[in-house]
Structure 1
């Protein structure tokens, strides 16, 4: 799989986004803060968004790696969790 280079950018509407470098394609992920939070963070909202996007990248990488390992070990995947609603805490 070829390397994918990503960049974090601030869009015209103020959202912070992750997208393929040197591309105008739809962003892969976006972070949007309420006006209230923007006031509290001052100019540090970009740093907070970077941390959030970086955590998302790592999580996606971990999920992909586990998926590849699971498929390599038995050739199948268990989709029983797909039937249950996701609980977000």
Structure 2
């Protein structure tokens, strides 16, 4: 069942990555890094902010996919009874 879930991990380098949980090569799907100035401004809440940013991105991808599917449905001839 590895790879069915996503996880957010802060690496030793300070980068925050989104990757598939249990992925053997640990290849990140997305990488986010905050400058030390940004981390200071966020007062240690950078992981929470990263989670919100990743969530927003994934929600937008999902929304666009739904819009695209609806547009394809409307482009086809349909018979309604």
TM-score under structure 2 normalisation? 0.75
Partner of 1:42: 43
Q: Distance in 1 between matches of 2:19 and 2:72?
A: 28
Question: How many correspondences in the alignment?
Answer: 73
Structure 1 stretches of at least 4 aligned residues deviating more than 4 Å after TM superposition: none
**Hey, which of these two has a bigger chunk of helix by percent?**
1
Ranked by relative contact order (alpha carbons within 8 Å, sequence separation 6 or more), the top structure is 2
Partner of 2:79: none
- Higher-Rg structure is 2
Cα distance change of structure 1 residues 25 and 73 upon mapping to structure 2, 3 Å threshold: farther
Question: Secondary structure, in 3 states, of the residue corresponding to 2:42?
Answer: helix
Q: Can you list the C-alpha shifts for 1:60-80, whole angstroms capped at 9, x where unaligned?
A: 1101111122122215xxxxx
TM-score under structure 1 normalisation? 0.69
* Structure 1, unaligned runs of 5 or more: 76-89
